[in-house]
Amino acid sequence: MLIVGASLFFALTSNMPFLRAVLAGRNWSEPQTWLFSGAMLALLLALHMLLLGVLLVRPLTRVLLGLLIVVTAFATYYMQRFGVFLDPTMLRNVVKTDPAEAAELFGWGVLPHLFLFAGLPLLLLSRLRLRPVTLRRALATRLLLLAGSAVLLLAALLLIFQDFSALMRNQKELRYLITPANYLYSLGRVLADDGRALGTARQAVGADARLDASWASRDKPVLFIVAVGETARSANWGLSDYARQTTPRLAELDVLNFPDVTACGTNTETSLPCMFSAIGRRDYNETRIRTSESLLHVLNRAGFQVLWRDNQSGCKGVCDGLPQQLSDAALTPDLCSDGRCLDETLLRGLDTVTRDAKGNLVVALHMLGNHGPAYHKRYPDGFRRFIPTCDTGELRKCNREEIINAYDNALSYTDEVLAKTVDFLRAQQSRYDTALLYVSDHGESLGEKGLYLHGVPYAIAPDEQTKVPMVWWFSRGFLDSLGLDRSCLAAQTAKAWSHDNLFHSVLGLLRIETKDYAAELDISGACRRLGQAGQKDRATQDALASSLGSQS
């Protein structure tokens, strides 16, 4: 009876987003709508009776059910507030989040919801007493419950099979709104996938990687910085014709801006491994991506020193086995507070890294960027340019204008950090040929279609979450020594690109040869001239041809 009561409670109180989605657009004056809604409630009840009938065992019933009630209350709060779908990708993001990020998502506004949907049920649960019965009777009753639940589930499906099957076939993501079944299933998937990957050696990528012949006559090593933005969306990027100039510093620099770039995920846990992989979204296989080496491993194998500097939540496996430096509030107290540091911390001490490095160097900067919901904490006071701003992580307390203002201020600070990175690279030109590649991992919803933050399943994700900015900057020495035609590169910015191009474009820019390189995915592929060594060889060949021609 407790299982039946708990299942009824979950069906009626925890599945409003699911019911709203499946009943959207239906005419309530038609009997079929009432039949469909009744069958959906019966389906939710039966599904959770089956689930709890398997999970809850008498000695641990109170503990397990109490835990489910609390977690479900949290889950429904964030699902309703931000339009979150608790699929395996989102659960992985939740499991791998750091304490500082989790703290920013917890606001006082969650307390009334927790009191109503967790506190009161827990109080009732604490007052219930389970009568002891014999093992034989307990097993018989449990089997009867499971059988009855299965029959009810089957009957509900048969009543609405045609409508329901079409709905699930066309909108598969809706299953991840069924709570608590969604997060229990997704958590199981994440744990199973991680268990299979645990202890498995990463599959080698670019095992044959090497620098091409043009490197033989170089005068300087290369310093290449890859800056990975966080939650920056193309729609608010000043260089991409946004109504506001959120990128004034970059606008003054000789950068290449790519206004039409698509991310391969809607959260960091998905996008970061995907964008640094040779596979990408076009042939997406999460298990293969997570168990394969990344672009950084290929660069290291080709002879580059590689360093990952992090001001976020880690490299998500992208830099496993490679040198890493994490932001440390003790080293930059002027840039840090409440366990978070401003992104300028990534530039502190970078001169020491470049001074101590020998040969070619790639530095990856993982920025905190515009990570929500506390956008107001992502920039110093001097960048509070657009006002009024939302100065709390509880977005429901702010109007949309305030949220967008805070977001745009954070984007302007990202512009400042990138401009300072270019300034740093310019200062290194006496020793290095330098370049910067910036791209965001995913975008962000700021209230469009009632959605906030990010993480919507990719199949239904809006452009606000999938369209991201990308910027390239090259020193003259880098362009000349690596044989790159800048005007040709500028022409490529008008085309549509994606994270799938990152792996192959970096290999192309740095003239690294490997069988895993795909020329058709290299943005710079059509813009490479012969390098210095190649130019000398071509000059020699031309002279020889001319000589032979005159002799004949």
User: What pLDDT is stored for residue 464 in this prediction?
Assistant: 97
Torsion from C-alpha of 210, 213, 215, 216, nearest 10 degrees: 120
User: What pLDDT is stored for residue 191 in this prediction?
Assistant: 86
What phi and psi, each to the nearest 5 degrees, are found at residue 22? Answer: -75, -20
Distance, C-alpha 12 to centroid of its chain: 32
Which uninterrupted H or E stretch holds 336?
strand 336-337
Question: Per the structure block, which two tokens stand in for 531?
Answer: 């390098």
pTM: 0.84
Task: List the beta bridge partners of residue 222.
Answer: 433
User: What pLDDT is stored for residue 550 in this prediction?
Assistant: 40
Of the candidates 260, 268, 238, 256, the residue with the CA atom closest to the CA atom of residue 444? 268
Which uninterrupted H or E stretch holds 274?
helix 268-275
User: What pLDDT is stored for residue 528 in this prediction?
Assistant: 87
User: What pLDDT is stored for residue 172 in this prediction?
Assistant: 83
Higher confidence at residue 550 or residue 400?
400
Question: Per the structure block, which two tokens stand in for 398?
Answer: 């702010």
Average pLDDT, the chain: 91
Of the candidates 289, 291, 258, 287, the residue with the CA atom closest to the CA atom of residue 275? 289
Tell me: the pLDDT tens digits for 300-347? Answer: 999 999 999 999 989 999 999 999 999 988 889 999 988 899 999 999
Distance, C-alpha 514 to centroid of its chain: 28
Residue 533: is its pLDDT beyond 50?
no
C-alpha–C-alpha distance, residues 374 and 410, integer Å: 10
Residues 6+ apart with CB under 8 A from 473: 253, 254, 255, 256, 422, 425, 435, 436
Strand, helix or coil for residue 36: helix
Tell me: the pLDDT tens digits for 48-69? Answer: 999 999 999 888 899 999 999 9
For residue 163, which amino acid is it? D
Tally helices (H) and strands (E) across the chain. Answer: 22, 14
Sign of CA dihedral 320, 467, 407, 413: positive
Residues 6+ apart with CB under 8 A from 136: none
Residue 546: is its pLDDT beyond 90?
no
Task: Name the H helices within 237-306.
Answer: 248-251, 268-275, 286-290, 295-302
C-alpha–C-alpha distance, residues 510 and 340, integer Å: 34
Sign of CA dihedral 193, 196, 201, 206: negative
For residue 39, which amino acid is it? A
User: What pLDDT is stored for residue 167 in this prediction?
Assistant: 83
User: What pLDDT is stored for residue 545 in this prediction?
Assistant: 38
Tell me: the pLDDT tens digits for 472-494? Answer: 999 999 999 999 999 999 999 99
Residues 6+ apart with CB under 8 A from 335: 341, 342, 344, 345, 348
Task: Name the H helices within 210-254.
Answer: 248-251
Tell me: the pLDDT tens digits for 380-392? Answer: 999 999 999 999 9
State the average pLDDT over residues 140-150: 95
Residue 8: is its pLDDT beyond 80?
yes
Q: What single-letter DSSP state applies at residue 130?
A: P
Asked if 509 and 435 count as a contact pair (C-beta separation under 8 A), the reply is: yes
Asked if 268 and 93 count as a contact pair (C-beta separation under 8 A), the reply is: yes
C-alpha–C-alpha distance, residues 278 and 295, integer Å: 7
State the average pLDDT over residues 219-246: 96
Residue 547: is its pLDDT beyond 50?
no
Of the candidates 75, 109, 73, the residue with the CA atom closest to the CA atom of residue 398? 109
For residue 330, which amino acid is it? A
State the average pLDDT over residues 83-94: 85
Neighbours of 154 (CB within 10 A): 13
User: What pLDDT is stored for residue 540 in this prediction?
Assistant: 34
C-alpha–C-alpha distance, residues 189 and 68, integer Å: 18
User: What pLDDT is stored for residue 199 in this prediction?
Assistant: 65
